[in-house]
Chain A
Amino acid sequence: DQQVKQNSPSLSVQEGRISILNCDYTNSMFDYFLWYKKYPAEGPTFLISISSIKDKNEDGRFTVFLNKSAKHLSLHIVPSQPGDSAVYFCATNTGNQFYFGTGTSLTVIP
């Protein structure tokens, strides 16, 4: 069973607009959540994280929101840039194990 779900395989956004990527998880015991960005032929790169004691974390153009009651995580990118075009994975961990979603391919149109 998928512990972390990303229900949108792809998303297209105009340059300068907001990109919103969504993620749902199943286990309320998860306490650390992350977003990774992946370009083709490269490994995933850590983008931003949030612990379960917070509901928002910002880093420049990237903001992660956590809704624990809904078991929902989202990543907002504002403004979106063509270089943001990549596959984005959400992830969570419990103890030493990390669980990843299936990814959302973001295309930012110039």
Chain B
Amino acid sequence: NAGVTQTPKFQVLKTGQSMTLQCAQDMNHNSMYWYRQDPGMGLRLIYYSASEGTTDKGEVPNGYNVSRLNKREFSLRLESAAPSQTSVYFCASRAAGNSPLHFGNGTRLTVT
């Protein structure tokens, strides 16, 4: 029972490089989310997808794009990485209604 799987676990980029963070869930959840966690800032929502085929901006979407590839997969793309995007990125999913988010184990990204 894998739950939410994120790849890669670690990544180092140079300023200006691009990359895609991958996320997949096997719980048949409709909604998927991308958060970033920074010291003293808690978890901040980047983008979410309430259902397959829809995506919406969260609190801190600038510099990111997302794709809901199918019901299982939700990717986060950095087109031109900046040092301010150094963070730990968490993907989450949830079922419908009043239900909790289920998180992956995160991707630790460093941009130099």
Contact = CB atoms under 8 A, between A and B. Distances in A.
Contacts of A49: 98, 100
A54 B51 CA distance: 29
A44 B35 CA distance: 11
Interface residues of B, number: 24
15 contacts: A41-B106, A42-B105, A43-B105, A44-B90, A45-B103, A46-B101, A51-B98, A89-B42, A89-B43, A96-B50, A98-B33, A98-B101, A100-B42, A100-B44, A102-B40
Interface in B93-112: 98, 100-106
B24 interface: no
B45 interface: yes
> Which label, helix, strand, loop or mixed, suits the secondary structure of the A interface?
strand
A48 B50 CA distance: 23
Given A43-B90, A43-B104, A98-B33, 10 more contacts: A4-B42, A31-B98, A42-B105, A43-B106, A49-B100, A96-B50, A97-B45, A98-B45, A102-B41, A103-B42
A44 B43 contact: yes
A89 B40 CA distance: 12
Nearest to A2: B42
Contacts of B45: 97-99
Return the 7 tightest CB-CB contacts between A and B, nearest first.
A43-B103, A100-B43, A46-B100, A102-B42, A100-B42, A32-B98, A43-B105
